Structure 1
Amino acid sequence: MRVLIVEDEPLMAGAIRDGLRLEAIAADVAGDGDAALELLGVNSYDIAVLDRDIPGPSGDDVAAQIVASGSGLPILLLTAADRLDDKASGFELGADDYLTKPFELQELVLRLRALDRRRGHHRPPVRELAGLRVDPFRREVHRDGRYVALTRKQFAVLEVLVAAEGGVVSAEELLERAWDEHADPLTNAVRITVSALRKRLGEPWVIATVPGVGYRIDVSDADRRG
């Protein structure tokens, strides 16, 4: 999952970003409305988390533009205002959820995962492919019934590969979906992470490399068994 955090308080924005990364959620940060709209124009996000009181176009303005775009991008509003009419106005804008400051990071994580499950292009909570069972909510992976312990980044990469259902995913796309905008496009982090993930899952190797293209889940053995 990749989210956009729009928050003008640097310390809070950094704490949210770092906390989400520990939960295998890639997060980009925008400190004002103009930066938010710029990032929304060039990147693909799963959820937008908007502080309503930000410089430039307000969080409400950004939310209105997201809704007007027809993208269906879920919106979670952050605000210090906790009155019912404040919440009502947020939902009237088209927000999908509302979180009042101060809040616990774990509550934000739970709300983000709930929104992700309810997205218009909804994915099943549990995916099964080529003997793999990936549960995004519990952050658990099993292969042929055997539990596999993964790091957060390995899980994020596997989640993207399994979602492709055997299709090829480029290193660039993995970098975009499992990391964030600050990742070096020339880094070998994807190759290293995929290699470690392949070893964790064990033999026979279930992640195939497509030279010059990317990676995919090898479903051929599963097809032959079926």
Structure 2
Amino acid sequence: MRILIVEDEAELCDTIAEGLELDGYAVDRCYDGKVAHELLAVETYDLAVLDLNLPGMDGMDVLREVRKVNQELKVLILSARGSVSDKVQGLDNGANDYLAKPFAFEELEARIRSLLRRSFVQENTVLVWNAISLDTAKRIACVNGEQIPLTKKELSILEYFMLHPTKVISQEELMEHIWNMEIDSFSNAVRVHIATLRKKLKQALAYDPIVTRIGQGYCLRREDTM
């Protein structure tokens, strides 16, 4: 999942971003409201963590502008403006959640997981597809109850497949949701990580659960084709 952190306090922004990257998210950082508005207009994000007191453009104005064109993006306001009226205004303007500063990082993590589950009508933190289970909170994948050693990027790719179990997912879509904007669009990173993920899953399952659709992308193998 790809997240944009919009926070003008650079140290706090970097700390949040680094923590979420350790959780396996692809994270972009932004310290200015106007730049955030421009990024949200051209880049694809699953969720934005948005401060309100921003240079360039107030966070509430960023939120209003985003909601004019994008109703799908999950937005979590993270702000020192913690009054009831501030929270009501933020939620009424289209925020999906509101967390006041100071905050515990563990709570921010939990709220992000909750918002992303809502995006995919997911009711709990454990995804299951056939013999594979993936705990999105603990970032652990298992086959028949046995943990398999996946890298953070492999876990993120598997999670995205399991959230879209019937969909053919293009390489471009994976790049948009699993990598941040620093990745080279001509990189072979997707193919390399798919290959290593496929090898580990095949070894654990005794069959290859990932199907390559030439010219289209990848999908999980249907049970009736095994």
The TM-score normalised by the length of structure 1 is 0.85
Structure 1 residues 207, 93: closer, same or farther in 2, change over 3 A? same
Distance in 2, matches of 1:200 and 1:23, equals 21
In the alignment, which residue of structure 2 is the partner of 1:186? Answer: 186
In the alignment, which residue of structure 1 is the partner of 2:115? Answer: 115
In the alignment, which residue of structure 2 is the partner of 1:210? Answer: 213
Which aligned runs of 4 or more in structure 1 are off by greater than 6 angstroms? Answer: none
In the alignment, which residue of structure 2 is the partner of 1:152? Answer: 152
Structure 1 residues 187, 57: closer, same or farther in 2, change over 3 A? same
Equivalent position SS for 2:88: helix
Q: Is the 8 A contact 2:169 2:219 kept in 1?
A: yes
Per-residue deviation, 1:63: 1.3
Distance in 2, matches of 1:204 and 1:80, equals 51
Per-residue deviation, 1:53: 0.6
Q: Deviations over 1:162-188 (max 9, x none)?
A: 233243222222121111111122222
Structure 1 residues 102, 45: closer, same or farther in 2, change over 3 A? same
Distance in 1, matches of 2:167 and 2:96, equals 31
In the alignment, which residue of structure 1 is the partner of 2:100? Answer: 100
Per-residue deviation, 1:130: 4.2
In the alignment, which residue of structure 2 is the partner of 1:43? Answer: 43
2:78 is aligned with 1:75: no
Give unmatched runs, 5+ long, in structure 2.
Answer: none
Q: Is the 8 A contact 2:23 2:139 kept in 1?
A: no
Q: Is the 8 A contact 1:75 1:95 kept in 2?
A: yes
Distance in 1, matches of 2:145 and 2:80, equals 46
- For this pair of structures, how many residues does the alignment match? 222
Q: Out of 23-32 and 139-148, give the one that drifted further.
A: 139-148
Equivalent position SS for 1:3: strand
Distance in 2, matches of 1:58 and 1:64, equals 10
Q: Is the 8 A contact 1:134 1:159 kept in 2?
A: yes
Per-residue deviation, 1:70: 5.3
In the alignment, which residue of structure 1 is the partner of 2:62? Answer: 62
Structure 1: which amino acid aligns with 2:221? Answer: D
Distance in 2, matches of 1:146 and 1:208, equals 23
2:84 is aligned with 1:84: yes
Equivalent position SS for 2:184: coil
Per-residue deviation, 1:156: 0.2
Equivalent position SS for 2:162: helix
Q: Is the 8 A contact 1:130 1:218 kept in 2?
A: no
Q: Deviations over 1:125-148 (max 9, x none)?
A: 444334323332343323244332
In the alignment, which residue of structure 2 is the partner of 1:161? Answer: 161
Distance in 2, matches of 1:109 and 1:199, equals 30
CA RMSD, Structure 1 to Structure 2 (Å): 2.3
Per-residue deviation, 1:224: 4.9
Per-residue deviation, 1:151: 1.9
Give unmatched runs, 5+ long, in structure 1.
Answer: none
Distance in 2, matches of 1:67 and 1:80, equals 22
Give the percent of matched residue pairs that are identical in Structure 1 and Structure 2. Answer: 38
Per-residue deviation, 1:212: 4.3
In the alignment, which residue of structure 1 is the partner of 2:5? Answer: 5
The TM-score normalised by the length of structure 2 is 0.85
In the alignment, which residue of structure 2 is the partner of 1:142? Answer: 142
Distance in 2, matches of 1:164 and 1:18, equals 27
Equivalent position SS for 1:118: helix
